[in-house]
Amino acid sequence: MKKALALILALVMCLGILSGCGDGQDKAGNDDSDYSYHWKLATTETSDYYMTVLAQEFLDKVSERTGGKVTGEVFASGQLGGLVDALEGLEMGTVDIVMDGFSSLGEVNPIFDAWGMPYLYDSQEHRYNFWDNYFDECADLVASEANIRMVTVIDGLNRNLCCTKPVNSLADLKGMKIRVPTITTYMKVWESFGAAPVPMALSEVYTSIANNVVQGQENDIMLTMAMNFYEVAPYAIMTEHVPYEGSLFFNEETFQSFPEELQQIILEVGREITAKSRTVVAEEEAKTLAEMEDMGVTIIRPDLTEFRAATKHMYDENTAITPVIDLINKAR
């Protein structure tokens, strides 16, 4: 009898231990009040880049609103590896959040190629109308295709050309060597323009322009200014060809495992970061344009009609992005 009683008590204790194993981090999302996380956020951007600063603000706000149940730290400048490494870490659980531009992820999943396409939006109003009205649908679409949950949109500037000579039309670009990142859609844009795109590490660009290895590079004007490229390529050609936007990305399965309370806090803070990024970008754009003029940079705004027409074929050739493009068209 005593042996039977002892066996029963031991069984009860084991069940109690097993039922309490998930109390520290609720991976099943069943208990909205009892959870604890420390997130690692990976980005290849520098710690002082405005998107990185906003990523840190996101972590701080989530921590505050969860009463410290969630904490986190940003690992900038590729401390946790390049983008592919970070995304692999996201899948394996060694990285909790990745911050990068949408178009950069196109090399990992074709759905993200949509944001590397030229002249994606008709205007800034169109862009904001899309995100304000179709964010949830777009986030669900990306999650189903790539198993990645985006929780905010960090606004960015359009990409423009910085080069060593004036460019007023497509004819002026013919055969010009332009440095581009190793992103397939970016390469195709410049091929469509008639230029000769050259993939190259950002660290090599200044010297390559100075030595006439390439005659220009394309980036947003803030980054171009930060890298001092206008010193060797004093012409800013406002081609406005690709909108650069970023986000904070979670693994979808991990995100869905969070307690409902935490999911709502994440999305709430994400909306606030979206709104703030628009103000930050508008202010920084005005400031950078003023600095460019003070430096003596020649700003050229060509008629973009022929630029748009030259790249229109890219939409017909990429059916993988059609679901995203359909949503963007609905916002027109």
Radius of gyration of the chain (CA): 24
Give CA separation, 291 vs 95, 159, 224, 284, in Å.
Answer: 38, 18, 12, 10
Contacts with 88 (C-beta within 8 Å, 6 or more apart), sequence order: none
Q: Is the dihedral of CA 149, 155, 160, 162 positive or negative?
A: negative
Identify the band that residue 31 occupies on the pLDDT scale cut at 50, 70 and 90.
Answer: low
* Parallel, antiparallel or unpaired: strands 177-180 and 196-199: parallel
C-alpha to C-alpha distance for 289 and 198, rounded to whole angstroms: 26
Identify the band that residue 12 occupies on the pLDDT scale cut at 50, 70 and 90.
Answer: very low
Task: Tell me how crowded residue 62 is: count the other CB atoms within 10 A of its CB.
Answer: 22
Identify the band that residue 15 occupies on the pLDDT scale cut at 50, 70 and 90.
Answer: very low
Q: How many residues are recorded in the chain?
A: 332
Tell me what percent of the chain is helix, strand and coil, each rounded to the nearest 5: 55, 15, 30
Q: What is the pLDDT of residue 46?
A: 87
pLDDT at 229 over 50: yes
Q: Which of 4-8, 30-34, 92-96, 112-116 is predicted least confidently?
A: 4-8
Q: Which of 23-37, 65-79, 101-115, 251-265 is predicted least confidently?
A: 23-37
| Average pLDDT of span 117-125 | 96
Q: What is the pLDDT of residue 34?
A: 87
pLDDT at 11 over 60: no
Could you read off the pLDDT of 152-197 as tens digits, one per residue?
Answer: 999 999 999 999 999 999 999 999 999 999 899 999 999 999 999 9
C-alpha to C-alpha distance for 116 and 218, rounded to whole angstroms: 13
Burial 308-324 (b: 16+ CB within 10 A, else e): eebbeebbeebeebebb
Name residue 181's amino acid.
P
Residue 84: in which H helix or E strand, if any? helix 83-92
Could you read off the pLDDT of 259-315 as tens digits, one per residue?
Answer: 999 999 999 999 999 999 999 999 999 999 999 999 999 999 999 999 999 999 999
Identify the band that residue 107 occupies on the pLDDT scale cut at 50, 70 and 90.
Answer: confident
C-alpha to C-alpha distance for 24 and 115, rounded to whole angstroms: 38
Q: What is the pLDDT of residue 146?
A: 96
C-alpha to C-alpha distance for 69 and 188, rounded to whole angstroms: 46
